[in-house]
Chain A
Amino acid sequence: MPKDSGIGASSKRREDVRFLTGAGNYTDDINVAGQAYVHFLRSDIAHGRITSLDTSAAEAMPGVVRVFTGKDFEGVGGMPCGWEVTDKHGAPMQEPAHPILAQGKVRHVGDPIAAIVADSLEQARDAAEAIDLEIEELPAVIDMKAAAQEGATLVHDDLNNNVCYDWQLGEADDAKVNEVFAGAAHVTTLDLVNNRLVANPMEPRVAVGEYKRGTDEYTLYTTSQNPHVIRLLMCAFVLGLPEHKVRVVAPDVGGGFGTKIFHYAEEAFCTFAAKACNRPVKWTSSRSEAFMSDAHGRDHVSKIELALDADNNFIGLRTNTYANLGAYLSTFSSSVPTWLHGTLMAGNYKTPVIQVNVKAMFTNTVPVDAYRGAGRPEATFQLERVVDKAARELGVDPIALRRQNFITQFPYDTPVALTYDTGDYNGTMDKLEAAADLAGFAARRAASEAKGKLRGLGINCYIEACGIAPSNIVGMLGARAGLYDAATVRVNATGSISVMVGAHSHGQGHETAFPQVVADMIGIDESMVEIVHGDTSKIPFGMGTYGSRSLAVCGSAMVKATEKVIDKAKKIAAHLLEASEADIELKDGQFSVAGTDKSVAWGDVTLTAYVPHNYPLEVEPGLEETAFYDPANFTYPAGAYACEVEVDPETGQVSIEKFTAADDFGNIINPMIVDGQVHGGIGQGIGQALLENCAYDENGQLLSASFMDYAMPRADDVPFYGVDHSSQTPCTHNPLGVKGCGEAGAIGSPPAVVNAVLDALNAGGKAVDHIDMPVSPSRVWAAMNS
């Protein structure tokens, strides 16, 4: 029987009521009395030198408060990067300056040059037209391999070249890797592209800066996944403000998917300008502006080689990747192609020798950073495509080849720096085979063929590393931040509870799922527990939400804080019950003395904590505890996905006919929310596989800068998805045994879709090895007819 409350229950989301009635409070819904509006004049060319910038006419336009240029930010810090990667020769990455407004050069279409603050947005836009700007155009650096050539145009004049770092992980001895490949019975090689994407949360970014002279206090309202991180970065590295004078609020946030992790220039600008203009300053991104200023995702070009022995065991893996970082280092960009990508190249397999090589390139494109999955989709795509190609070349069943090479003993130390704590990859594959009715595929294929369609089945396995941790290890790897989280459990006198958390909910349903845990631990109704998040003036210092970390990391802090609360409450209960603390048990909201019928209710104990008349003298009054939690390891969700497609041989059109996901997320708090997270991830993965592509031309013009030309998945592009998460191997190192589910769908689905298309084509007699994403009708048609 499904539970109807607490851990494991599909509790309906309490936050839905405000969202369904138009009562949400998103950043653009916030207006501060007297606010002015800022419009950014952005570069419309990819690379150039600013030769003249005259704002005097704009300043004289009606309603204009002030026009800012790069000059106003001389002496102010630039946008920081939060992760220093060390290259394979031991040198630190090249780290160019990233100014708030362009200083002398523009480096991508969308690079902000000037900011016009005016009484109305329309006046600010009108004034931007009056700015006299001349830019000497330079050759644009777009193609990554060309950017790496000796003598290539430099994106940053003060750097040695366009290579941020040349990084390696795994086997460092090339001779040893060569020896493995030389001795292989079979080697499968694949060149592939992981297409550049734009996260496109439906809510564009917004920032409202406010400054109060009387108290010298700032408030920044912003669309962020991690308000404390923004406050720290902005105060310590950009504007040089004391944190206690700055409040950052991320209220209801309309989706993030990674792109709202990062500290953006517009946030720092609005904060800075609020003081400079002595007026609140608001910026609301248009969608077109989002396309050229939100950090993009993916954009890898890779060659992967898999060596197998005569028995089809994987014996070696080598990858060489060019990773596009864009024009500047976004907040966590440098970590994505390295520690979030290279470490995942073992996948679910016991390949003994692995070498990962990554060259990260500066180009005249929008900065690239984490997008749902962040490095793990890129790793999984390479690995699972090459495994699938190997199966086809060897004429073996792709599931059997995977099963044969699965890791089966845990914990397992991979050759690429991770230790998987738990997993049951065969068990999860069993679940997939049943849930996807793979036995019935032949009949479904026959039915498709009878309609003149080619049908294909694509399999994919994935492993991911979530809840990035622990802080001391990531610090050694270059992280300039800790990756713990925090929660404060404040019990009110009458027994209701406010939990202040460092995690941020922007669709994940924390306001519902987190109380399920606390209520379950105490045995009270979920409605007595409320989550407070998104405001640095209310919550403890936590690192926010990304990398499927919220429950595994912040949830663990919340459990620890709740345990402290319960421990203290037991002391009070023991006093009230005149019993030994060791004999006190808490169940269903009642403290009782073991083996007796003496008990006292939760509410009586909490009231006593705040009205401490009959009270243990050695215990402090009140009932409020904070805990910080630094994970001992990553968590390792894993899964097996099956996609069935139909391909129209006349047009190359692909339709997804059936999609099934079997995931192992460890223990699950709210199955309904977990299902929803998987659905959404699959939807985005199908988007990447079939539709989405962020395209630049050779001059660095962004060709896909609106929903008119960037193909987002729509309701009729996708099917209902089958989701099974009954394969559960709980995480061994966090108190809830949870692993994280937010990114799985986006990691696991693109290779499944592409593998399915190739299976359809090959089964239909078209020998096609690979098609790059998005697998558009024109690409499929070309592959079929080449």
Chain B
Amino acid sequence: MTQVSMTVNGKSVSGDVEGRTLLSSFLRDHLSLTGTHVGCDTAQCGACVVHVNGEAVKSCNMLALEADGAEVGTIEGQSGPDGSLNVIQQAFQDHHGLQCGFCTPGMVMSAAALLKDNPRPTEAEIRKYLEGNLCRCTGYHNIVKAIMAASGQDASSIAAE
């Protein structure tokens, strides 16, 4: 066991982990931050995306020890202190960008990382960026639409496509 310390959603945390403990299981099992989901074991589905030092990272593909000293952000840190939805979360609700909700935390975290680097992405840029996030429910239509809306673009015309 090795002690690992990091900042998660602005709070300092630490815990004893095995060398093989993944960041996703540290978040879920040690910190009970179960909003980060694990949908595959090959870093393909993106349900586990979190932010590590501001970058979108698949937390099932990173050891907890690798995140020692890092600033980690999870879905639980996205909404306001009063529980209010942020712009991206609100756009997902407004545009029905989720159904079962399992891929959603990863989608929101990926979208946030995209919009940080590219505040007004085109449809094609959004689709390309989301290659690492699988959703089985929505056919991606309303996810892309929600991200366009969250970036201040008019998504209303898409409904009539």
B15 → A minimal CB distance (Å): 15
Cβ 8 A contact of B127, one of A16, A22, A715: A715
User: Is the Cβ of A715 less than 8 Å from the Cβ of B39?
Assistant: no
Assembled-state Cα–Cα distance A4/B42 (Å): 43
Assembled-state Cα–Cα distance A255/B104 (Å): 12
User: Is the Cβ of B131 less than 8 Å from the Cβ of A716?
Assistant: yes
User: Is the Cβ of A721 less than 8 Å from the Cβ of B39?
Assistant: no
Looking at B40, B130, B142, which has the most chain A CB atoms within 10 Å of its CB? B40
| Residues of B in contact with A, size category | 35 or more
- Chain A residues with Cβ under 8 A from B39's Cβ? 202-204, 254, 287
User: Is the Cβ of A20 less than 8 Å from the Cβ of B42?
Assistant: no
The answer to whether A398 has its CB under 8 Å from any CB of chain B is no
Assembled-state Cα–Cα distance A23/B75 (Å): 9
User: Is the Cβ of B40 less than 8 Å from the Cβ of A255?
Assistant: no
User: Is the Cβ of B93 less than 8 Å from the Cβ of A202?
Assistant: no
User: Is the Cβ of B131 less than 8 Å from the Cβ of A26?
Assistant: no
- Chain B residues with Cβ under 8 A from A603's Cβ? none
A201 closest partner in B (C-beta): B136
Assembled-state Cα–Cα distance A675/B133 (Å): 21
Hey, what's the 0/1 contact readout for B68-109 against A, CB within 8 Å counting as 1?
Answer: 000000111011000101000100111010111111110010
User: Is the Cβ of B127 less than 8 Å from the Cβ of A21?
Assistant: no
A672 closest partner in B (C-beta): B96
A437 → B minimal CB distance (Å): 11
Residues 10 to 37 of chain A near chain B (Cβ within 8 Å): 12-13, 15-24, 26, 28-29
The answer to whether B33 has its CB under 8 Å from any CB of chain A is yes
Assembled-state Cα–Cα distance A199/B37 (Å): 18
User: Is the Cβ of A706 less than 8 Å from the Cβ of B101?
Assistant: no
- Chain B residues with Cβ under 8 A from A683's Cβ? 136, 138-141
Hey, what's the 0/1 contact readout for A710-745 against B, CB within 8 Å counting as 1?
Answer: 001111101011100000000000000000000001
Assembled-state Cα–Cα distance A682/B136 (Å): 11
Assembled-state Cα–Cα distance A26/B75 (Å): 15
Assembled-state Cα–Cα distance A555/B56 (Å): 41
B149 → A minimal CB distance (Å): 13
Looking at A15, A679, A706, which has the most chain B CB atoms within 10 Å of its CB? A679
The answer to whether A77 has its CB under 8 Å from any CB of chain B is no
Assembled-state Cα–Cα distance A433/B160 (Å): 14
User: Is the Cβ of A708 less than 8 Å from the Cβ of B42?
Assistant: yes
A673 → B minimal CB distance (Å): 7
- Chain B residues with Cβ under 8 A from A672's Cβ? 96
The answer to whether A343 has its CB under 8 Å from any CB of chain B is no
Assembled-state Cα–Cα distance A28/B34 (Å): 9
A260 → B minimal CB distance (Å): 10
Assess A707 versus B40: contact at CB under 8 Å? Given A12-B94, A715-B130: yes
User: Is the Cβ of B100 less than 8 Å from the Cβ of A254?
Assistant: yes
User: Is the Cβ of A712 less than 8 Å from the Cβ of B101?
Assistant: no
- Chain B residues with Cβ under 8 A from A24's Cβ? 35, 101-102
Assess A13 versus B96: contact at CB under 8 Å? Given A22-B74, A287-B41, A707-B40: yes
User: Is the Cβ of A203 less than 8 Å from the Cβ of B100?
Assistant: yes
Cβ 8 A contact of B85, one of A20, A202, A253, A716: A20
Looking at A21, A681, A683, which has the most chain B CB atoms within 10 Å of its CB? A21
The answer to whether B134 has its CB under 8 Å from any CB of chain A is yes
Assembled-state Cα–Cα distance A683/B137 (Å): 8
User: Is the Cβ of A676 less than 8 Å from the Cβ of B135?
Assistant: no
Hey, what's the 0/1 contact readout for A499-531 against B, CB within 8 Å counting as 1?
Answer: 000000011110000000000000000000000
Cβ 8 A contact of A19, one of B41, B104, B159: B104
The answer to whether A252 has its CB under 8 Å from any CB of chain B is yes
Assess A684 versus B93: contact at CB under 8 Å? Given A202-B100, A254-B100: no
Assess A21 versus B78: contact at CB under 8 Å? Given A706-B44, A720-B158: yes
Assembled-state Cα–Cα distance A684/B39 (Å): 17
The answer to whether A181 has its CB under 8 Å from any CB of chain B is no
B140 closest partner in A (C-beta): A715
Residues 670 to 699 of chain A near chain B (Cβ within 8 Å): 672-673, 675-676, 679-684, 686
| Residues of A in contact with B, size category | 35 or more
The answer to whether B11 has its CB under 8 Å from any CB of chain A is no
User: Is the Cβ of A16 less than 8 Å from the Cβ of B75?
Assistant: no
Assess A684 versus B136: contact at CB under 8 Å? Given A20-B85, A673-B96, A715-B143: yes
User: Is the Cβ of A202 less than 8 Å from the Cβ of B136?
Assistant: yes
The answer to whether A286 has its CB under 8 Å from any CB of chain B is yes
The answer to whether A635 has its CB under 8 Å from any CB of chain B is no
Cβ 8 A contact of A202, one of B28, B126, B134, B158: B134
- Chain B residues with Cβ under 8 A from A509's Cβ? 99
Looking at A19, A202, A718, which has the most chain B CB atoms within 10 Å of its CB? A202
User: Is the Cβ of B92 less than 8 Å from the Cβ of A20?
Assistant: yes
Assess A707 versus B45: contact at CB under 8 Å? Given A21-B75, A22-B75: yes
A673 closest partner in B (C-beta): B96
The answer to whether A567 has its CB under 8 Å from any CB of chain B is no
Residues 20 to 59 of chain B near chain A (Cβ within 8 Å): 20, 28, 33-42, 44-45, 47
Assembled-state Cα–Cα distance A18/B102 (Å): 11
- Chain A residues with Cβ under 8 A from B93's Cβ? 12-13, 16-17, 20
- Chain A residues with Cβ under 8 A from B34's Cβ? 22, 26, 28-29
Assess A676 versus B142: contact at CB under 8 Å? Given A255-B99, A508-B99: yes
A20 closest partner in B (C-beta): B89
Assess A507 versus B41: contact at CB under 8 Å? Given A17-B85, A22-B76, A683-B139: no
The answer to whether B18 has its CB under 8 Å from any CB of chain A is yes
Assembled-state Cα–Cα distance A286/B78 (Å): 27
Looking at B93, B108, B136, B160, which has the most chain A CB atoms within 10 Å of its CB? B136
B154 → A minimal CB distance (Å): 14
User: Is the Cβ of B33 less than 8 Å from the Cβ of A22?
Assistant: yes
A29 closest partner in B (C-beta): B34
- Chain B residues with Cβ under 8 A from A29's Cβ? 28, 34
- Chain B residues with Cβ under 8 A from A16's Cβ? 92-93, 98, 101
User: Is the Cβ of B139 less than 8 Å from the Cβ of A712?
Assistant: no
The answer to whether A122 has its CB under 8 Å from any CB of chain B is yes
- Chain B residues with Cβ under 8 A from A19's Cβ? 98, 100-101, 104-105
A328 → B minimal CB distance (Å): 25
- Chain A residues with Cβ under 8 A from B105's Cβ? 19, 22
Assembled-state Cα–Cα distance A29/B161 (Å): 38
The answer to whether A590 has its CB under 8 Å from any CB of chain B is no
- Chain A residues with Cβ under 8 A from B36's Cβ? 22
- Chain A residues with Cβ under 8 A from B89's Cβ? 20-21
14 A–B contact pairs at CB < 8 A?
A12-B93, A20-B101, A21-B78, A26-B102, A29-B28, A255-B102, A508-B99, A683-B141, A684-B136, A706-B42, A714-B134, A715-B130, A715-B133, A716-B130
Q: Taking A715-B126, A716-B124, A720-B161 as given, write out 19 further A-B residue pairs in contact, using a Cβ cutoff of 8 Å, ordered by the A residue number.
A: A12-B96, A16-B101, A18-B101, A22-B105, A201-B102, A202-B37, A202-B136, A254-B100, A286-B41, A507-B137, A673-B96, A675-B96, A683-B141, A684-B139, A708-B44, A712-B136, A713-B140, A715-B130, A721-B161
Mark A residues whose CB is within 8 Å of B: 12-13, 15-24, 26, 28-29, 122, 199-204, 252-255, 257, 286-288, 506-509, 672-673, 675-676, 679-684, 686, 706-708, 712-716, 718, 720-722, 745
User: What are the 6 tightest A-B residue pairs by CB atom distance, in nearest-first order?
Assistant: A22-B35, A683-B139, A19-B101, A254-B102, A507-B100, A507-B99
